[in-house]
A and B are shown apart, each in its own frame.
Chain A
Amino acid sequence: MKNTKTIKVDYLARVEGEGALFIKIKDNELQDCKLKIFEPPRFFEAFLQGRHFTEAPDITARICGICPIAYIMSSIHAMERILGIEVGGQLRELRRLIYCGEWIESHVLHVFMLHAPDFLGYQDAIQLAGDKPELVKMALRLKKAGNELVRLLGGREIHPINNKVGGFYKVPEKQDFAPLLEELKWAKDASIEAVKVANSLECPDFDQDYEFIALHHPDEYPFNEGRLISNTGLDIDIQDYEDHFEEIHVEHSNALHSIHIEHGNYFVGPLARYNLNYNQLSELTKQVAVDIGYDRIVTNPFQSIVVRSLETVYAIDEAIRIIENYEKPEKPAVDYDIKPGIGWGCTEAPRGILYHRYEIDEKGTIKTAKIVPPTAQNQSRIEEDLSNFIPKYMDLSDEDLTWKCEQAVRNYDPCISCATHFLKLDIERE
């Protein structure tokens, strides 16, 4: 066979953007720390111009292999705001349900396949599986429950395609949920065990003074809707997002760093949601937190492994609630007329708020698009964490210091393709 050979390749993986961390140490003191994260949203913003508004969910879903639902939902909500339609009742519940699925998938993946090996001293999840196969099998089964939820509502063959502006293309029958409901009941107990495992891990002491930003809804833990609030007094409608946040160019990175105007960097994701929305967690989730003696406010980013696990309990508990109360809606989507305007959507991706803004014309053609993914928002904060973290570990070998830095970055669960995939570390010592 011409042009064909069977060889071992160095690696076989997604190559979706590249991140790099540069650290300069002089006389055992940290001189410089720069995080460079590659950012695809700029391409998508340009690519969306001239497309029909109904295409935005499907196109933006491809930005991230881990959190397509977040992209789908932020774009849909923005469009619905332009069209002036409200999707309520069971359709709204189904949207929360598919979001539960995405959180379960993403959180379990991060907690067990990426984060736990750090704490347990394993180089990767495969080593962990060799030593603790039952734990890894439990995690994979837990994640599968999330996968099933997303597939049942979103479609099976490719990435989720069943969501649309106005609702869904098709909605399930009540009985379609029966096998999944049984599995979720198992998953509820398993996720509580997962919290205990996560809480037993030893975390470095690293409490920081953060500005946490998350959506907030009076009656529910936030997925799709809410006002944007912070622990420093911010409380805005998402249409005012760009009055309060700006993306700035930093010399060392081709990505934009988001900052809260007049405040600086900020923290989005599980810790922010938990700290700002504790009261909205389900009774079960709060009870699990109480049972492990967990703090009401968490400011150590290494603790995110526990908070992600608590949010997994919440997502499973919430999914069960929605399925048990489900009644098939009469229509899978609400009707609307196209009209021009500007709309904003902000939803809680597993790793934090994902902001979209679109302007469409009277034919529904997208004139402008803006997308701010969670990792871009955390980027500046990650850099500051590293600057505070590295001095404690200056005596380590380059290899060990590299690993420590990776762990500090991993606290934020930076997104595979929203922002970065491959982190190259470069340590320069003088």
Chain B
Amino acid sequence: MTESILIIGVGSPYRCDDSVGLAILKQLRLHELHNVHLMERSGEGSDIMDIWQSYGHVILVDAVQSGSAPGTIHRIDANTEKVPTDFFHYSTHAFGVAEAVEMARTLGELPKHVLIYGIEGKDFEIGKEISAEIEKSAEQVVQQILDDIHSIREKELAHA
């Protein structure tokens, strides 16, 4: 029996490149994925900690702004790498994806496998358009996620 996989697409549909996580989910919905659950989320951290609780495999996609070239794909294995939360002290209302990972780690509640794709955005203004270079990266991430799902299933078969 296969283990359920949760894929979380984080973003706002009205913040241009910030919606890339939702766009990726939309693409994934076109594929027939067995025992894979797709959820859209706004990115509030404790909500994410709540929905991933019963899953062994979580893949989360979000837009980021870290100073890299727009469209850059950051792939973070949250189980082995810290997700930096340096900005936290200076934010007034933020308990987001990074905090969810680090809080879950502190409490020993991080799912067994958490993989995060961060796509470097360019335009986070209000609006509906995703920048061209970000759309390209989104296609790539869709393929990478399909590959990730495939390799999770392969490993399951090998251990069956």
Interface residues of A (CB under 8 A from B): 1, 3-16, 19, 40, 43-44, 47, 62-63, 65-66, 68, 105, 109, 113-114, 123-126, 129-130, 133, 136-137, 140, 143-144, 147, 157-159, 402-403, 406, 409-410, 413-417, 420-425
A147 contacts B47, CB within 8 Å?
A: yes
Contacts of A126 in B (CB 8 A): 85, 99, 102-103, 106
Contacts of A123 in B (CB 8 A): 88-89
Contacts of A19 in B (CB 8 A): 92
B66 contacts A11, CB within 8 Å?
A: yes
A402 contacts B90, CB within 8 Å?
A: yes
Contact A158/B39 with A123-B89, A133-B107, A425-B90 known, Cβ cut-off 8 Å: yes
Provide the bound-state CA to CA distance between A350 and B87, in Å. 25
Given contacts A9-B64, A113-B45, A424-B90, 9 further A-B contacts (CB under 8 A): A1-B140, A3-B73, A7-B68, A9-B68, A14-B94, A15-B18, A16-B12, A113-B46, A422-B92
Closest-by-CB residue of A relative to B127 is: A43
Provide the bound-state CA to CA distance between A130 and B107, in Å. 7
Can you show 6 pairs from A to B with CB atoms below 8 A apart? A9-B118, A16-B12, A16-B15, A43-B127, A113-B99, A157-B39
B118 contacts A129, CB within 8 Å?
A: no
Contact with A along B20-60 (1 / 0, CB 8 A): 00000000000000000011111111110110000000000
Instruction: Indicate whether B96 reaches chain A with its CB closer than 8 angstroms.
Output: yes
Provide the bound-state CA to CA distance between A133 and B15, in Å. 35
B89 contacts A143, CB within 8 Å?
A: no
Provide the bound-state CA to CA distance between A136 and B104, in Å. 11
Closest-by-CB residue of A relative to B141 is: A4
Provide the bound-state CA to CA distance between A10 and B102, in Å. 14
A137 contacts B96, CB within 8 Å?
A: no
A125 contacts B95, CB within 8 Å?
A: yes
Partner of A416, one of B14, B44, B63, B118: B44
Instruction: Indicate whether B83 reaches chain A with its CB closer than 8 angstroms.
Output: yes
Provide the bound-state CA to CA distance between A105 and B107, in Å. 20
Q: Which one of A113, A137, A423 has the highest number of Cβ atoms from chain B below 10 Å of its Cβ?
A: A113
B75 contacts A4, CB within 8 Å?
A: yes
B118 contacts A140, CB within 8 Å?
A: no
Provide the bound-state CA to CA distance between A9 and B68, in Å. 9
A125 contacts B99, CB within 8 Å?
A: yes
B39 contacts A416, CB within 8 Å?
A: no
A422 contacts B91, CB within 8 Å?
A: yes
Contacts of A417 in B (CB 8 A): 12
Closest-by-CB residue of B relative to A59 is: B14
Partner of B49, one of A7, A140, A410: A140
A136 contacts B103, CB within 8 Å?
A: yes
Provide the bound-state CA to CA distance between A40 and B124, in Å. 12
CB distance from B84 to the nearest CB of A (A): 6
B99 contacts A406, CB within 8 Å?
A: no
Provide the bound-state CA to CA distance between A205 and B116, in Å. 44
Contacts of A12 in B (CB 8 A): 62, 64, 66, 74, 76, 83-84, 96-98, 116, 118
CB distance from A364 to the nearest CB of B (A): 22
A133 contacts B106, CB within 8 Å?
A: yes
B124 contacts A4, CB within 8 Å?
A: no
List 10 A-B pairs, minimum CB-CB distance, nearest first: A65-B42, A9-B66, A13-B96, A43-B126, A158-B40, A423-B92, A11-B87, A14-B43, A113-B95, A4-B73
Contacts of B42 in A (CB 8 A): 14, 65-66, 68, 159
Contacts of A425 in B (CB 8 A): 90
Provide the bound-state CA to CA distance between A4 and B147, in Å. 15
CB distance from A124 to the nearest CB of B (A): 5
Contacts of A43 in B (CB 8 A): 14, 126-127
Instruction: Indicate whether B155 reaches chain A with its CB closer than 8 angstroms.
Output: no
Instruction: Indicate whether B79 reaches chain A with its CB closer than 8 angstroms.
Output: no
Contacts of B96 in A (CB 8 A): 12-14
A109 contacts B44, CB within 8 Å?
A: yes
Provide the bound-state CA to CA distance between A144 and B53, in Å. 11
B74 contacts A7, CB within 8 Å?
A: yes
A114 contacts B98, CB within 8 Å?
A: no
Provide the bound-state CA to CA distance between A123 and B67, in Å. 25
Instruction: Indicate whether B111 reaches chain A with its CB closer than 8 angstroms.
Output: no
Closest-by-CB residue of A relative to B121 is: A15
Contacts of A68 in B (CB 8 A): 42
